[in-house]
């Protein structure tokens, strides 16, 4: 679970919160202590200064009327004032006392009654108190002044604000580090995508070893770059092969057309040149037709109309349609075609059998044998097309279904063909959710195996 990106994001935020709270608790304590001491000293100075002012107000107005004077001077809300008589008992209490009221001992009261002053603080500046002597009508009194509830709230809010600011800074720092860890691979992928958009496909991201979604994304990105690089290579080879296949017949047509302009040609030579031009023109026409067919199949716009029909009859008709070719070479046919129903695109599969039969005829020597048989399984149909021709080398058997690929052993200059026939076969069979393979025939030659589902 920890390997997922979602969990890591959640964990980053949780760690940020926990570390922020813990560090705030410890570090903010030291800050609060430092700031608290400074604040306490300032409060103490202000308290002593205002305490003297309050003492003067009591002297000027008397204990019974001092509260009005304190309110007029706006000191009543800031401080809580307690007055003790000469016996040490509380006489009056004026102001807004804080929740944590400072407890004054009898010894402290007695020392102030004797004319001394007192400055005290229990735990925090909120419990800061000043004691001052006061005399009225020959009686001695002790004035104790403590900061009010409003000042306590202000101090508490100040400390809370400092803690929250520090917590925010620590949390932001941790989230920044975590976000950088998460965003860095995305920035790398963005840069790699921009390079790919410019045609650079030799790219490999280094984050594919990560175990989270970013690692999977990097792995998929590297695979995509590899596939696009291979596709670009195939595209370049395709353009090169098409140019070569077109250039060869065009050169022949151009050359023999110029030769026909000579006046010293015999009738036989003229007929020969015209025949060559016609053959090369037909070759160009077949090439164009195959290219258009492949382009249509690639675009998925090629009509696909499956229907139920007899596969065995279709193969027999394909063999009969090629009779002029195999009769000229005196080839022997062995057909093992039991009654077989299949639901598929009849026109497209007919192209498959014509291409495979044409290849077998083309590369089987005179007097050779071509064997076609159908084997039915529960869900699949296997069609075997075997010949005892010259065969195809093992290293070429997987490549023969690539476009324009020609085996040096099986394809020579005397054999017509563009290298697109088997590519069309593979495309059609794949579209029918089937497979096609080519293997060596133990008796010599090759065996092409086409596997198709009974129904599409």
217 to each of 28, 231, 232, 247, 369, how far by Cα in Å?
42, 20, 22, 44, 53
Phi-psi region of 391 (alpha: psi -120 to 50; beta: other; left: phi over 0): left
CATH of domain 213-295: 1.10.287.130
Phi, psi torsion values for 242, nearest 5 degrees = -60, -45
Phi, psi torsion values for 336, nearest 5 degrees = -120, 80
pLDDT in tens, 303-350: 788 999 999 999 999 999 889 889 999 999 999 999 999 999 998 899
- Whether the CB-CB separation of 98 and 149 falls below 8 Å is answered with yes
Q: Which residues of the chain have pLDDT under 50?
A: 1, 122-124, 408-414
Q: What is the pLDDT of residue 370?
A: 94
- Domain 5-156 in CATH: superfamily? PAS domain (3.30.450.20)
Q: How many CB atoms lie within 10 A of CB 279?
A: 14
Phi, psi torsion values for 130, nearest 5 degrees = -125, 135
- Whether the CB-CB separation of 178 and 16 falls below 8 Å is answered with yes
Please report, for the chain, the start and end positions of each structural domain, with discontinuous segments joined by +: 5-156, 213-295, 303-453
Q: What is the pLDDT of residue 320?
A: 92
Q: What is the pLDDT of residue 413?
A: 44
- What's the topology of domain 303-453? Heat Shock Protein 90 (3.30.565)
Q: Which residues, in sequence order, are CB contacts of 158 under 8 Å at separation 6+?
A: 39
Q: What is the pLDDT of residue 151?
A: 64
């Amino acid at each position: 679970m920890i390997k997922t990106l979602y969990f890591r994001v959640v964990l980053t935020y949780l760690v940020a919160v926990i570390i922020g709270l813990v560090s705030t608790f410890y570090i903010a304590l030291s800050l609060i202590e430092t700031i608290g001491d400074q604040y306490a000293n300032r409060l103490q100075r202000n308290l002593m200064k205002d305490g003297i002012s309050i003492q003067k107000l009591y002297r000027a107005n008397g204990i019974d009327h001092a509260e009005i004077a304190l309110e007029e001077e706006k000191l009543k809300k800031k401080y809580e004032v307690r007055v003790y008589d000469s016996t040490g008992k509380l006489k009056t209490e004026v102001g807004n006392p804080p929740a944590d009221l400072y407890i004054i001992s009898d010894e402290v009261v007695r020392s102030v009654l004797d004319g001394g002053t007192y400055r005290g603080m229990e735990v925090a500046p909120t419990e800061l108190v000043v004691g001052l002597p006061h005399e009225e009508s020959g009686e001695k009194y002790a004035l104790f002044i403590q900061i009010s509830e409003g000042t306590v709230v202000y101090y508490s809010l100040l400390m809370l604000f400092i803690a929250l600011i520090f917590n925010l800074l620590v949390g932001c720092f941790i989230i920044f580090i975590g976000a950088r860890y998460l965003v860095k691979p995305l920035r790398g992928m963005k840069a790699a995508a921009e390079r790919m958009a410019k045609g650079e496909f030799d790219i490999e991201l280094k984050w594919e070893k990560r175990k989270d979604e970013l690692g999977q994304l990097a792995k998929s990105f590297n695979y995509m770059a590899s596939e696009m690089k291979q596709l670009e290579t195939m595209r370049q080879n395709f353009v090169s092969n098409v140019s070569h296949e077109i250039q060869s017949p065009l050169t022949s047509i151009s050359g023999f057309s110029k030769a026909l302009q000579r006046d010293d040609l015999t009738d036989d030579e003229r007929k020969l040149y015209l025949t060559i031009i016609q053959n090369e023109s037909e070759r160009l026409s077949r090439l164009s037709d195959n290219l258009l067919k492949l382009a249509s199949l690639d675009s998925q716009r090629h009509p696909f109309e499956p229907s139920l029909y007899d596969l065995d009859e279709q193969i027999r008709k394909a063999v009969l349609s090629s009779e002029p070719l195999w009769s000229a070479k005196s080839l022997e046919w062995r057909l093992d075609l039991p009654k077989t129903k299949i639901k598929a695109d009849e026109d497209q599969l007919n192209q498959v059998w014509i291409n495979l039969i044409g290849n077998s005829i083309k590369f089987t020597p005179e007097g050779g044998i071509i064997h076609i048989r159908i084997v039915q399984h529960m869900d699949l149909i296997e069609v075997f097309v075997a010949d005892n021709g010259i065969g195809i080398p093992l290293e070429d058997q997987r490549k023969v279904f690539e476009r324009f690929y020609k085996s040096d052993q099986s394809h020579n200059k005397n054999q017509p063909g563009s290298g697109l026939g088997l590519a069309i076969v593979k495309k059609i069979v794949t579209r029918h959710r089937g497979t096609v393979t080519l293997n060596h025939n133990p008796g010599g030659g090759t065996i092409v195996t086409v596997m198709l589902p009974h129904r599409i």
